Chains A and B, each alone.
Chain A
Amino acid sequence: MKKIIKDTLLLASLMILVVFGVSILWAGVTQEIALVCKLFGLAFIVVVANHGLDIIFLLPMRQSYILKYALVTCLVIAYGFVVGWFYPSNWWMAAIYTALVFIPAYFLDLVSVRRDVSYINRKIQERLGKLKHSETRGFYE
């Protein structure tokens, strides 16, 4: 299911890029096209910052998300001012938009980590079971 959702999102991004790319040839850079390009630009900056933080810091999950949330909010505010999304009166909207993305991401990550940990532990137990079984059958004699 996860792979299907991931592939759907990737395909949707590709479709948006292709459709809007073709539209630029016909209609030039309209407001909608400019917005999509700005969103892609912001996504690129956020992904680079995310990777950078992962390389520099080895933090527990919660601290890591708090740090990333703070950094991404600052980036969204700065980017939003540059591209004209925010005014001095509504800059705080960036913190809300970022939180709306980060909160589900944090819980999804939490579930995924728990699932991976339990898979690994189950495999270790299976291996230990196999080893005991082999020893009792004399394979290691």
Chain B
Amino acid sequence: MDNQPLTVIVEYPVLDEKARKVLQWVHQLDIQFVGKIDDKLLKIGLDEIYYFETVERKVFIYTKEEVFQLQGSITDVERMMMDSDLVRVSRTCIINTDHLQEIRQLKNSRLEATMDNNEKIIVSRKYLREIKNVFRRGTL
């Protein structure tokens, strides 16, 4: 049994909104990205990813303690945004809201997101509504 892959069976009488959310959550467990670090390619599960950042046309994946270069484009990440808890918070940054701990309004009226590894990310006011929508649709 040890070598068996994780299998989840979802049974539902009607494919309603609740069932859809459960399926989306299960599907999210399977999302992986390929990242490069020290010339090694590694598969990184979405649950490990804190955020994606675009720097000079390269996309970097930030996990709790490491940074990988995404083997793919930001379009691949954007494609996953509808089916996951990923959300754009600025022009260059997409965060995984599963690791979001708090959003604070700073004294200079900037918005700052704190991830659960205490990393701070600047949030653009323009994307606040989208972040709110992720939490709205994510409530089971």
B76 at the interface (CB under 8 A from A): no
Among B104-125, those with CB < 8 Å from A are 104-106, 108-111, 122, 124-125
Contacting residue for A119 out of B90, B125, B135, CB 8 A = B135
Contacting residue for B131 out of A60, A62, A120, CB 8 A = A120
Contact with A along B31-51 (1 / 0, CB 8 A): 000000000000000000000
Contacting pair A123 B103 (CB below 8 A): no
B129 at the interface (CB under 8 A from A): yes
Contacting pair A58 B139 (CB below 8 A): no
| With known contacts A58-B90, A124-B100, A114–B135 Cβ distance under 8 A | no
Contacting pair A58 B135 (CB below 8 A): no
| With known contacts A58-B90, A120-B131, A120-B135, A114–B105 Cβ distance under 8 A | yes
How near does chain B come to A54, taking the closest CB pair, in angstroms? 6
* With A114-B105, A120-B100 already in contact, 11 other A-B pairs whose C-beta atoms are closer than 8 Å: A60-B106, A60-B110, A61-B110, A110-B109, A113-B105, A113-B111, A119-B132, A119-B135, A120-B128, A123-B139, A124-B102
B residues with CB within 8 A of A = 90-91, 100-106, 108-111, 122, 124-126, 128-129, 131-132, 135, 138-139
For this complex, 19 residue pairs linking A to B, each with C-beta atoms less than 8 Å apart, are A58-B90, A58-B122, A60-B106, A60-B108, A61-B109, A62-B109, A109-B125, A113-B125, A116-B128, A116-B129, A116-B131, A116-B132, A119-B132, A119-B135, A120-B128, A120-B131, A121-B103, A123-B138, A124-B102
